[in-house]
Amino acid sequence: MLNLMFFIICLIIAGMGISLLLKMQRLKELEKRADALNASVEEMDEQAKLIIRTDIELNKTQEELDKKITGLSTLQKLSREISTTLEENQIFKKIGNAYLEELGFEKSSAFLWDSLTREFRLYLSIGYSENESLKIKNAVNTDKDYYLDLMHGGKTASSVFIPEGFLPKEKICRLFQVSEFIICPIIPQEGNQGFIFVGTQNIETRITEGEREIITILANQIGQTLDNARLFEKTWRSQQELEIKVEERTRQLTEALEELKRISKRKSDFISSVSHELRTPLTSIKGYAAILLAGKLGTVPDEIKERLGKINRHSDELVHMVNDLLDISRIESGKVNMNIESLELTPIVEKVADLLSEQLKTKNIAFNLRIPADCKKIMVDRSQIERVFINLLGNALKFTPEKGSISVNVHCSDKTIQVDVTDTGFGIPQEAQEKIFEEFYRVDNTINQEVKGTGLGLTLVKHIIEAHRGRIWVKSKLGEGSTFSFTLNCA
């Protein structure tokens, strides 16, 4: 019985032992699971932390991006305003408080170096009283060498980066009453350089790379606009000077023209009265020569007759010259009464050719006249136009050697005709072609030493053509011939 009881107790103990062992094993397993759970909780905690950190970073980047976009759009508006300005002072006035605040700054100054006074001049002061601005200006000029170095080195200083050798951050912060700032050089291509300062008292602000870039772009924009303004100023000034010069020159020219008109009138009056005075004695000389030649005062020996003949011929030439002179001065002074009528050109030219036919024959020179049949009538003074042809054809005859040819070609249009008088003569040297229309001008050559003339014929022709509101010009080649062309108005 005792044994049975012992056996039962042992059995119970063994059962309990087994159950304990099983429980312990279960516990171990649970512990293992708890450890694994703990590890994954820690892992999750780490991941959560990472997510939060990334989120903060992202927010920061987003903020910076927003700031940059705002800054860029403000800069764009500001640039547009500045770039249309052409006055140095006005450029800085365009940078108002509103723009600055949009960029995140409430204080700003801008200085340009004045190379004459060797001082920085204050062009912009935002966020400072007059006294404070003056204090800043004086302090900047006391430390001008530092600012000049910064400018010449093209470096930007900011509260996060001070270039070597520049003033300490604290000093700048104290002077400009800010906690954060950017100082950026303004470097135009020409003229005085300077710098722009922007700053804020907000201690939470930290100057970012983006802000530094934006202020650099602004400073560059100011530099370019300064260049434009200076270029405009230069152009405007030289235009003003030019206008003054043109005015002065016009006044001088008007005076000279008036003087020329006075002289020309005096000359015409003089020629006209001298020619008149010459005509009377010339007529007497011719008359007496004729009386003597006719033997009315007794028989005249042959040698004297020959000389009297010369006196007669020379007197004729003189009369001719005096008449030409009188005509020129009359036309010049507008004293000629032109009898303008509607006429056919052909009979006028044919009449003149007829007058010259003997000489044409003698020199064996061919004459051609080509006038289109449908040519309109012309509005001219008959006797004046006859003189034009007498002179031009007379010259062509004089200056064309034997067996040559002379032709008159007419080109017609609705309103005008152009007459070309062409010869195969000696031609006129290039340098003389403009001068031959001047009074008394004769080409200095051997032909002219043999051929007689006064140098008045072409002057008279030019005056007559111009009195008819036409033009005259010459084209010629030495040794080949000349073409005198003129225009006349149609009826």
Is there binding between residue 453 and ligand ADP (CB under 6 A)? Answer: yes
> Containing H/E element for 289?
helix 209-293
Structure tokens at 285: 């000389």
156/482 with CB nearer ligand ADP: 482
- DSSP states along 348-361: HHHHHHHHTHHHHH
| CA 309, chain centre distance (Å) | 69
Nearer to ligand ADP, 91 or 428 (CB): 428
Answer yes or no: are the C-beta atoms of 186 and 222 closer than 8 Å: yes
What is the crossing angle of helices 209-293 and 302-332, to 10°?
Answer: 150
Nearer CB in complex with ligand ADP: 218/443: 443
Asked if residues 319 and 282 have their Cβ atoms less than 8 Å apart, the reply is: yes
Q: In this chain, which of 216, 454, 485, 489 binds ligand ADP, going by CB under 6 A?
A: 454
For 359, phi and psi rounded to 5 degrees?
Answer: -65, -35
Min dist. Cβ of residue 254 to ligand ADP (A):
31
Comparing every residue's Cβ against ligand ADP, the nearest one is: 453
CA angle (456 as vertex; 279, 306 as ends), nearest 5: 55
Q: Which of 396, 410, 417, 465 binds ligand ADP (CB under 6 A)?
A: 396
- Of 163 and 455, the one with the shorter C-beta distance to ligand ADP is 455
Check: CB of residue 180 under 8 Å from CB of residue 200: yes
Q: Which is nearer to ligand ADP, 354 or 438 (CB)?
A: 438
210 binds ligand ADP (CB under 6 A): no
Cα–Cα distance for residue pair 163/155, rounded to 1 Å: 7
C-alpha distances in Å from residue 14, one per residue of 11, 17, 24, 25, 26? 5, 5, 15, 16, 18
Stretch that binds ligand ADP, among 16-24, 212-220, 382-390, 453-461 (CB under 6 A): 453-461
CA dist 45 to 33, 37, 41, 42, 59, Å? 18, 12, 6, 5, 21
Stated as kind and residue range, the H or E segment containing 417 is: strand 416-423
What span, in angstroms and rounded, lies between the C-alpha atoms of 52 and 145?
49
Q: Taking CB under 6 A as the rule, which mask of x and - marks residues 347-386 in contact with ligand ADP? A: ----------------------------------------
Strand partners, 474: 484
Of 18 and 451, CB closest to ligand ADP: 451
Q: How far apart are CA 218 and CA 221, in angstroms?
A: 5
**DSSP helix/strand/coil, 113:** strand
Longest CA–CA span in the chain (Å) reads 221
Number of residues that bind ligand ADP (CB under 6 A): 21
Query: Would you say 219 or 458 has its CB closer to ligand ADP?
Result: 458
What is the C-alpha to C-alpha distance for residues 292 and 306, in angstroms, rounded to an integer? Answer: 11
CB of 427 to ligand ADP, least distance (A): 6
Q: Which of 399, 404, 408, 472 binds ligand ADP (CB under 6 A)?
A: 399
Residues 59-78 binding ligand ADP (CB under 6 A) are none
Q: Quick one: which segment of 110-118, 182-190, 308-316, 456-464 binds ligand ADP (CB under 6 A)?
A: 456-464
Q: How far is the CB of 406 from ligand ADP (least distance, A)?
A: 9
Smallest gap from residue 461 Cβ to ligand ADP (A): 7
Smallest gap from Cβ 288 to ligand ADP, in A, equals: 27
202 or 362, CB closer to ligand ADP?
362
Q: Going residue by residue from 288 to 317, which x/- string records binding to ligand ADP, judged by CB under 6 A?
A: ------------------------------
3-state secondary structure of 380: strand
Could you say which of 125, 395, 422, 487 contacts ligand ADP (CB under 6 A)? Answer: 395
Strand intervals (E) in 156-287: 157-158, 180-186, 194-200
Residue 438 C-beta: closest distance to ligand ADP, Å: 9
CB of residue 425 to ligand ADP, shortest distance in Å: 4
Give whichever of 193 and 482 is closer to ligand ADP, judged by the CB atom: 482
**Shortest reach from residue 344's CB to ligand ADP, in Å:** 25
Query: Whole-number minimum distance, CB 452 to ligand ADP, in Å?
Result: 7
Backbone φ and ψ for 489, nearest 5 degrees, come out as -85, 145
Selected from 482, 486, 487, 488, the binder of ligand ADP by CB under 6 A is: 482
Residue 159 vs 459, nearer CB to ligand ADP: 459
Please report, in angstroms and rounded to a whole number, the separation of the first and last CA atoms in the chain: 173
Residue 393 near ligand ADP by CB under 6 A: no
- What character string, x for contact with ligand ADP (CB under 6 A) and - otherwise, covers 413-452? ----------x-xx-x-------x----xxx----x----
CA-based torsion, 262, 264, 266, 269: positive or negative: negative
* CB of 193 or CB of 384, closer to ligand ADP: 384
Residues making contact with ligand ADP (CB under 6 A): 391, 395-396, 399, 423, 425-426, 428, 436, 441-443, 448, 453-459, 482
